[in-house]
Amino acid sequence: MNKTKLIGPFKQIIPMTGLSLKGPISDNQLNIIVDGGILVEEGKIRAIGNFDDLAKNSEGIEIHELQGNHTCLPGLIDSHTHICFGGSRAKDYAMRNAGKTYLEIAKAGGGIWDTVTQTRKASKEALIKRTTKLANRHLKNGITTIEVKSGYGLSVDEELKMLYAIKETNAIVSTDLIPTCLAAHMLPKDFDGTHEDYLSEISEKLFPVLKEKRLANRIDAFVEESAFSAAQIAPYFEKAKAMGFDITVHADQFSTSGSQVAIDFEAVSADHLEASTPKEVELLAKSNVIANALPGASIGLGCAFTPARKILDAGGALAIASDHNPGSAPMGDLLTQATILGTFEKLSNAEVLAGITFRAAAALSLNDRGQLKEGYSADFIGFHTDNYQEILYNQGNFKPCMVWKNGALVFDKHK
């Protein structure tokens, strides 16, 4: 049995509690625990409050006493990534910056299909190695939960290879990986049949295995002119819903229609939304779908940012994720990207932090993390500062000095 541990004192703990899931949040709504401590038992938070008060009855408790100034946040949650892949798309990036568009590059044989080819060539072990490396990099940046999509296999067997690689990586790394099946990323070029035929094959042959082998509980689709239309995806999502999967959608990246699909199928999230107009913003805000902004894709493609300010002002729930992938979002630094989105979209510190903590947890239907409170997972990170504002002020160039996952110190810069 793990010993009960008290960690602190932190100059500030920002527990991200008591804040609404939807709409704007101002910084003065943030709860700040000064000179705080976190009491951890069996991987969960048993108590959180003033360090000295918690230390009073410390018999039998291991105290992890911090020296110097530290500020504590919940472990960050990256609610949209594609970090399981083979190869590189550095060539796409160079072509794009030389003036070619994302769709032109895809049509010329680059784009998603290039990564599919390279991922199919990779062994499951090679994918595990790569995903482990990237997950560990995210962990050092304070991310204790990462959603990871398949979608570069695009056949029943190759999607299974990816999802097994994600599952096996999850058993190796300290950060939690939440798998999502994105077999509906595009119609594979080697598939002999229509979009509808492909989707039927996937839903008939892959969905039952996902359930049986517990490989994913979430189904995603790229609803876009270059991928699947709203009409094509409807029967696929109907089947997924009937089987009890959560739905999430790559929506409104280049053209609109995806967010309406997300609303119609009561998706947990609609992600991207760079092309959303006031109409989609309004519809999303009225719904229970979390709007997931992916600034890494805007930075990677040189496109507009998701209208995050408008979504919040209309009353929507805004999560922020890295979309880390080899094509459109190669950087993979969530804190940097969330900060930049905040600068361009005029988001408060509280709104940015909400987007990468409890609102991101909601985008993944996780109700045990993203906030620091009793009973929640003891996932938290520390920064060398006495003022939480310094974290975003440094625009991502200020990394955590410690990462705690399920009550264990899994990264310690002091060592």
Least spacing, CB of residue 82 vs Fe ion, in Å = 6
Stretch that binds ligand NIG, among 7-15, 67-75, 323-331, 332-340 (CB under 6 A): 323-331
Give dist(CA 70, CA 310) in Å, integer: 34
Nearer to ligand NIG, 82 or 138 (CB): 82
Which of ligand NIG, Fe ion, none does residue 280 bind (CB under 5 to 8 Å by kind)?
Answer: none
Among the listed residues 39, 76, 84, 112, the single contact to ligand NIG using CB under 6 A: 112
The residue range among 40-48, 69-77, 110-118, 134-142 that interacts with ligand NIG, by the rule CB under 6 A, is 110-118
Nearest distance from C-beta of residue 54 to ligand NIG, angstroms: 43
Residues 284, 264: Cα–Cα separation, whole Å: 11
- At a CB cut-off of 8 Å and minimum separation 6, what does 152 contact? 82, 84, 85, 86, 112, 115, 116, 119, 120, 158, 162, 185
Among 75, 327, 355, 370, binds ligand NIG (CB under 6 A): 327
220 binds Fe ion (CB under 5 A): no
Binding mask 319-338 for Fe ion (x = CB under 5 A): ----x---------------
Residue placing its CB nearer to ligand NIG in the complex, 144 or 180? 180
- Residues shown for the chain: 415
Q: Least distance to ligand NIG from the beta carbon of 39, Å?
A: 39
Residue 246 binds to Fe ion (criterion: CB under 5 A): no
Nearest distance from C-beta of residue 112 to ligand NIG, angstroms: 5
Query: Which letter, b or e, does each residue of 279-307 get, where b requires 16 or more Cβ atoms within 10 Å of its Cβ?
Result: ebbbbbbebebbbbbbbbbbbbbebebbb
Region 295-324 residues binding Fe ion, contact defined as CB under 5 A: 323
Q: Cα(35)–Cα(9) distance, rounded to whole angstroms?
A: 5
- Binders of ligand NIG among 25-84, rule CB under 6 A? 82
Measured CA to CA, the distance from residue 356 to residue 77 in angstroms comes to 5
Q: Considering the rule CB under 6 A, would residue 332 count as an interface residue with ligand NIG?
A: no
**First vs last C-alpha separation in the chain:** 26
Looking at the Cβ atoms of 82 and 359, the one nearer to ligand NIG is: 82
Strand partners, 73: 381
**Partner from Fe ion, ligand NIG, none contacting 131, C-beta within 5 to 8 A by type:** none
Closest approach of ligand NIG to the CB of residue 297, in Å: 5
Per partner kind, with CB cut-offs from 5 to 8 A, the member of ligand NIG, Fe ion, none near residue 112 is ligand NIG
> Rule CB under 6 A: which of 196-225 touch ligand NIG?
222
Q: Is 325 in the site for ligand NIG (CB under 6 A)?
A: yes
Tell me the chain's radius of gyration from C-alpha atoms: 21
Neighbours of 10 (CB within 10 A): 24
Interface with ligand NIG by CB under 6 A: which range of 111-119, 127-135, 352-360, 368-376? 111-119
Task: Give the amino acid at 363.
Answer: A
- Distance (Å, whole) CA 111 – CA 361: 30
- What does the alpha-carbon distance between residue 318 and residue 346 come to, in Å, rounded to a whole number? 13
Q: Which distant-in-sequence residues (6+ apart) come within 8 Å of 178 by Cβ?
A: 145, 146, 147, 148, 218, 364, 366
Token output for 397: 């160039």
Closest CB to ligand NIG among 70 and 218? Answer: 218
Q: Of the listed pieces 7-15, 107-115, 213-221, 285-293, which binds ligand NIG according to CB under 6 A?
A: 107-115
Closer to Fe ion by Cβ: residue 323 or 333:
323
Q: How far is the CB of 89 from ligand NIG (least distance, A)?
A: 7
Cβ atoms < 10 Å from Cβ of 344: 13
Contact 36, 12 (CB under 8 A): yes
Is the Cβ of residue 255 or residue 277 nearer to ligand NIG in the bound state?
Answer: 255
- DSSP letters, 220-266, are EEEBSTTSB-HHHHHHHHHHHHHTT-EEEEEESSSSSSHHHHHHHTT
- Using the contact rule CB under 6 A, the part of the chain among 35-43, 51-59, 305-313, 326-334 near ligand NIG is 326-334
Among 291, 385, 303, which residue's Cα sits nearest to residue 72? Answer: 385
What does the binding site for Fe ion look like in residue numbers (CB under 5 A)? Answer: 323
What does the binding site for ligand NIG look like in residue numbers (CB under 6 A)? Answer: 82, 111-112, 115, 222, 250, 253, 297, 323, 325-329
